[in-house]
Chains A and B, each alone.
Chain A
Amino acid sequence: MRRSENSQRRRLLKEKKEERDSFDGAAECRTENMDRLKRKADARKPPKGRLKKLRIKGSGEGENSADDLDRKGQVEGESRIKVYDENFTRIFDHGRKRFEDKWRRGDAQLFDSRLWVDKHSPTSEKDLAVHSRKVAEVKQWIEEQLRDPSKAQSRMLVLTGPAGVGKTAVVRSLANSMDLEVLEWRTPTPILWHEYSHHAVTGAPYMSKIDDFEAFIRKARKFLPLPTAGVHAARQGPTLPGFKDGNPSKERAKLLIIDDLPNAHDKAHRQRLCESLHVLAIGSKFPTVLIITDEVGTGEQREERKILTNEIIQELERAGAKKIAFNPITVNGVLKVLKRVQLIEKCKAPFPCLSAIAESCSGDIRQALTSLQFLCLGYESKPSHSSVWDPGGCRVDKRSSNKSFQKLDTESDVSKTPALGDRDLTLSLFHALGKFLHNKRQSDAQVQASSFDGLKLKDEYCRNPLKMAEPETILSQAHAETSTVAAFLHENFLQFVDDEATDDVSAISGYLSDTDCLLCGEGSMRFRRAVLNFNDIEPYQVANAASSSVAARGLLFANAHPAPPRWQTLRAPSLWQVERQHWQKKVETHSQAFSHTTFVSSSVLHTEMYPYRHRLPIQSPGAAVPMEDHEISNVETPFVEEDEMEVDAISKETSSVKEHSYVVEPRSSEIDIEDEIEEW
């Protein structure tokens, strides 16, 4: 009965993914596991209660043996570390392999069919495009961990950075060169609910990803160092043959990589995730590297992810983990790698194309390589190659439709930006602010040359064209909140205006005032509805966009006489500090905000009571209740309170003198993040 069910399920699967005949291998290890498990269950007919245990084991074992299958054809000794960047490439690779085996038997050695990203992934330190200082930092950390594990405060290293900057590559190549054994957490392949329901009869329980992850971490903490714990080690991912041989003497130092965190949508799950990572950070038995990819952009889901990662990072840093942030790879770095790869692959893409790729990938080397590979197809002269590529290509790269292929083919090889290589550009906030503040415009001569005369404006409203993208584009690339942008602009604009241009300053501050009003108007966040549907445009979004546009454009327009360009520093808005002080003070003085049986409003308190009070001898606002009204007052708590407040008030008064002396001292620069703006 079970068999038939099994085959039925398989049929279903096949119907769904007809083409993917190759998927019965490691591609979907989870479903594979299920099969395996069921087979086992059939064979042994165990009582239902044991199933769960088996399954947990099974997921690791299954993967392992599937891997073995997969590996047989491959060169086993080439590298002991498996390069599995993503499920995607894995699936792809495997499928490709099958194809090759079927159709081009014998050619396999000649033609390495892997994606260039994998084929040319760095194996040693010198291949890395990442800044050498970062590499050294990571290396030093690993070395420290290996040398004296007991000394280290935490055995956790957190790597952050945008996608494709080589975070994983650094760890792997270092591990390779230092001969470490890499263990990794790999997120189980997601199963769909209806898939699960097929298995439900077998009694296999449903496990959320977080459950899995927690279990993994528990085991990672407890069992891994034991060489005999073969089962658990197997679960950790690719294992050494040494383990299976029962030969613990060959054991190498281990490094655990966690590259992919399970999703956690609500607070409870986030908490669990944080806790389990915290536990790992404190009690890990061997060096652990957690790799977190930065999220850019806005939007509810991304925000969520950002919150999650921030929480995790904070939690881990509290636990003593070291954090290293990776920056996007420089254009030159990318270019170097591209050239190297091109040389190896012997393809003839022109140099401008390479630099175009390098510039447009915004530091994402993985993308740059994929783009290069795609581009090179266009320059391939041998037809046989493209025919090889095609079967695999049309499956994986569906979006790169044949049309664009032809386009690249037919078009003359003038330097052409690869159509697919573009990524959305992101700007740092400071970069964007710098653009607005420096107000780069074309010179008069340039304007005269282009001599645009459509609409004639009065001279006072005429400005030369901007030497930058549309301000709105820049704003959207900077991904900053409008209020933040406005605060930064407000803090810094004065030094970018010529010393004589009082009118300009007045106009700019007028625009900033407009911005503030727009932000708080009808469509502001205050009126934001609880449930957001992101397909609709909410009024607050419009208000936000409009107000930031007013701020940026207002500044650009009104700054008609910019200060001569020079090196400037950007300060963080002192507005925030002032606001904080304001609230602090308000809370501090709140307890004194009543006198003589009634309240005193805070404005009265600060403008009238306070300034006088510190000039008067010791006075107490709290005890301001006239005694004659309390003939029959049984001692109540309020009086005790008042007495306490009296003392409080006295001590406050003595200090209030200090608080109230308005000494204009240079604002403390503790929160001033001085940041350079380069001349753009």
Chain B
Amino acid sequence: MLWVDKYRPHTLDKVMVHMEEAQHLKNLIALGDCPHLLFYGPSGAGKKTLIMALLREMYGPGAEKVKVENKPWKVEAGTRKLEIDLTTVSSNYHVEFSPSDAGFQDRYVVQEIIKDMAKSRPLDVAGTKGFKVLVLNEVDKLSREAQHSLRRTMEKYSSACRLILCCNSASKVIEAIRSRCLNIRISAPTKEDIVSVMQHVAKKENLQLPMGLAGRIALQSNRNLRAALLSFEACYVQQYPFSENQAVQATDWEQYVTEIANDIVTEQSPKRLFQVRGKLYELLSNCIPPEIILKRLLVELMRKLDSELKREVCHWAAHYEHRMQLGQKAIFHLEAFVAKFMSIYKRFLIANFG
């Protein structure tokens, strides 16, 4: 089992980062009922860990007995009948799924599953909670229509189920939903937090983790706890006992982006752009999200830039990131950014060095 999963805290008490939020959540559950919740924050901050711990707090260990189901949902949309395949993870008490998997049919999925859940409301003699919990991932990737229908369904079935929404960016969730939920922001753990978690894991695994290495792993992870732990484990596999100045390898796609950045800076020409396009395609076909590629590329390019160019380059990166959200074919926008950068950088080089 990966350390990430092995040492994931299972109760709100054992949480090592965001202890304050955990305590608040615990108190909230103690009141007996809970509102709809919206967790948002960057990837690897611990949203899911908190959600699972919260579910366990509500329902006891039973909530962790999950089964994975992939079943087609039959949805009647007006006159048409749709069949949508969807994978859900569910226990007796909750159902979790990513509605954005259903693509443009996401809104039917949201309605249908919530309806379905509301039908089979748990009626326990023992007097447990009279509602089920629905965990929706990646709410920010839902289409607008789906979000609106989510809002309506939320109101209609609020007596039967509670929603826990989880997303990276709350700004992509419509106001109407945000105002109906208790918003909980999960910030990225600080470097110190990450180091302390790693030390905790090292102690459990009986490893000696030098502080320097821990620091560098934490730094490289960009305040992403999951990435840090994965990277830590990779370091362990690579070499143990650890040495203070052991190299922390970046993931291969990150290395690849660095390579692209180097390509761009060394030569600016249509021919080079063509090569870069090939590499971008390679990343895209390996399912690396274009936004992340762009962001990473920007970071890499920034390292090599004079400060007078940084503002302009950032501007264009933001411009094309926005375009990417509006459009469909990410490569057009990624490439437009690269071309723009080449153009700016070349002009700069000619102006300064002739």
Chain A residues lying within 8 Å of B327, measured Cβ to Cβ, are: 513, 516-517, 519-520
- Chain A 173-210: CB-based contact to B (< 8 A → 1; otherwise 0): 00000000000000000000000000000000000000
Q: Known: A497-B270, A598-B51, A604-B43. Is A509-B335 also a contact (CB below 8 A)?
A: yes
4 closest A-B pairs by beta carbon, nearest first, are A638-B67, A611-B251, A516-B327, A506-B343
Q: Known: A506-B343, A596-B5. Is A521-B282 also a contact (CB below 8 A)?
A: no
- A512 (CB) vs chain B CBs: closest residue: B332
**Cβ of A501 < 8 Å from any Cβ of B?**
yes
> Pick the contact of B89 from A495, A598, A615, A633 — CB < 8 Å?
A598
Chain B residues lying within 8 Å of A662, measured Cβ to Cβ, are: 252-253, 256, 279, 282-283, 286
Measured in the bound complex, the distance between the Cα atoms of B251 and A601 in whole Å is: 18
User: Max chain B CB contacts within 10 Å: which of A497, A521, A596, A661?
Assistant: A596
**Cβ of B1 < 8 Å from any Cβ of A?**
yes
Cβ contacts A to B, 22 pairs, < 8 Å: A490-B331, A500-B269, A508-B339, A510-B336, A513-B320, A516-B333, A517-B323, A517-B326, A526-B104, A577-B285, A578-B285, A593-B87, A595-B4, A599-B98, A601-B138, A603-B289, A604-B44, A605-B287, A612-B233, A624-B2, A638-B68, A661-B252
Q: Known: A624-B5, A661-B252. Is A495-B270 also a contact (CB below 8 A)?
A: yes
- A615 (CB) vs chain B CBs: closest residue: B234
Chain A residues lying within 8 Å of B10, measured Cβ to Cβ, are: 626, 629
Q: Which of B21-29, B32-40, B222-230, B302-310 contacts A (4 or more CB under 8 A)?
A: B222-230
Chain B residues lying within 8 Å of A605, measured Cβ to Cβ, are: 287
Q: Known: A505-B342, A597-B89. Is A629-B61 also a contact (CB below 8 A)?
A: yes
Chain A residues lying within 8 Å of B104, measured Cβ to Cβ, are: 526
Shortest distance from the beta carbon of B41 to any chain A beta carbon, whole Å: 13
Q: B89 touching A664 by the CB < 8 A rule?
A: no
Q: Known: A585-B287, A597-B52. Is A502-B2 also a contact (CB below 8 A)?
A: no
**Cβ of B96 < 8 Å from any Cβ of A?**
yes
Q: A598 touching B340 by the CB < 8 A rule?
A: no
Measured in the bound complex, the distance between the Cα atoms of B252 and A660 in whole Å is: 8
**Cβ of B281 < 8 Å from any Cβ of A?**
yes
**Cβ of A462 < 8 Å from any Cβ of B?**
no
Q: A589 touching B287 by the CB < 8 A rule?
A: yes
> Pick the contact of B237 from A585, A616, A641 — CB < 8 Å?
A616
- Chain A 623-667: CB-based contact to B (< 8 A → 1; otherwise 0): 111100110010011100110000000000000000111101001
Q: B328 touching A615 by the CB < 8 A rule?
A: no
- Interface residues in B95-111 (C-beta closer than 8 Å to A): 96-98, 101, 104
Q: B332 touching A515 by the CB < 8 A rule?
A: yes
**Cβ of A606 < 8 Å from any Cβ of B?**
yes
Measured in the bound complex, the distance between the Cα atoms of B70 and A659 in whole Å is: 25
Q: B253 touching A607 by the CB < 8 A rule?
A: yes
Question: How would you classify the secondary structure of chain A's contact residues: helix, strand, loop or mixed?
Answer: helix
- A611 (CB) vs chain B CBs: closest residue: B251
Measured in the bound complex, the distance between the Cα atoms of B253 and A328 in whole Å is: 50
Measured in the bound complex, the distance between the Cα atoms of B252 and A203 in whole Å is: 79
Q: Known: A602-B287, A616-B234. Is A625-B64 also a contact (CB below 8 A)?
A: yes
Chain A residues lying within 8 Å of B81, measured Cβ to Cβ, are: none
User: Max chain B CB contacts within 10 Å: which of A490, A604, A608?
Assistant: A608
**Cβ of A594 < 8 Å from any Cβ of B?**
yes
Shortest distance from the beta carbon of B99 to any chain A beta carbon, whole Å: 11
Shortest distance from the beta carbon of B260 to any chain A beta carbon, whole Å: 10
**Cβ of B204 < 8 Å from any Cβ of A?**
no
Q: How large is the interface on A (under 10, 10 to 19, 20 to 34, 35 or more residues)?
A: 35 or more
**Cβ of B271 < 8 Å from any Cβ of A?**
yes
Measured in the bound complex, the distance between the Cα atoms of B339 and A135 in whole Å is: 51
Chain B residues lying within 8 Å of A581, measured Cβ to Cβ, are: 285
Q: A611 touching B253 by the CB < 8 A rule?
A: yes
Chain B residues lying within 8 Å of A606, measured Cβ to Cβ, are: 286-289
- Chain B 9-30: CB-based contact to A (< 8 A → 1; otherwise 0): 0100000000000000000000
Q: Known: A598-B48, A626-B6. Is A586-B323 also a contact (CB below 8 A)?
A: no
**Cβ of B274 < 8 Å from any Cβ of A?**
yes
Q: B269 touching A608 by the CB < 8 A rule?
A: no
Shortest distance from the beta carbon of B257 to any chain A beta carbon, whole Å: 10
Q: A506 touching B329 by the CB < 8 A rule?
A: no
Q: B285 touching A499 by the CB < 8 A rule?
A: no
Chain A residues lying within 8 Å of B336, measured Cβ to Cβ, are: 506, 509-510, 512-513
Measured in the bound complex, the distance between the Cα atoms of B8 and A599 in whole Å is: 14
Shortest distance from the beta carbon of A250 to any chain B beta carbon, whole Å: 59
Measured in the bound complex, the distance between the Cα atoms of B89 and A638 in whole Å is: 10
**Cβ of A314 < 8 Å from any Cβ of B?**
no
**Cβ of A217 < 8 Å from any Cβ of B?**
no
- Chain B 101-144: CB-based contact to A (< 8 A → 1; otherwise 0): 10010000000000000000000000000000001011000000
Chain B residues lying within 8 Å of A660, measured Cβ to Cβ, are: 252, 286
Q: A577-B285, A619-B1 provided; 7 other pairs, C-beta below 8 A?
A: A512-B332, A517-B327, A575-B329, A601-B98, A602-B287, A603-B43, A607-B251
Chain A residues lying within 8 Å of B277, measured Cβ to Cβ, are: 494
- A633 (CB) vs chain B CBs: closest residue: B65
Chain A residues lying within 8 Å of B5, measured Cβ to Cβ, are: 595-596, 621, 624, 626
Q: Known: A519-B327, A601-B98. Is A624-B1 also a contact (CB below 8 A)?
A: yes
Chain B residues lying within 8 Å of A625, measured Cβ to Cβ, are: 64, 66
Q: A510 touching B251 by the CB < 8 A rule?
A: no
User: Max chain B CB contacts within 10 Å: which of A495, A612, A638?
Assistant: A612
- Interface residues in B185-206 (C-beta closer than 8 Å to A): none
**Cβ of A617 < 8 Å from any Cβ of B?**
yes
Chain B residues lying within 8 Å of A513, measured Cβ to Cβ, are: 320, 323, 327, 332-333, 336
Measured in the bound complex, the distance between the Cα atoms of B282 and A513 in whole Å is: 20
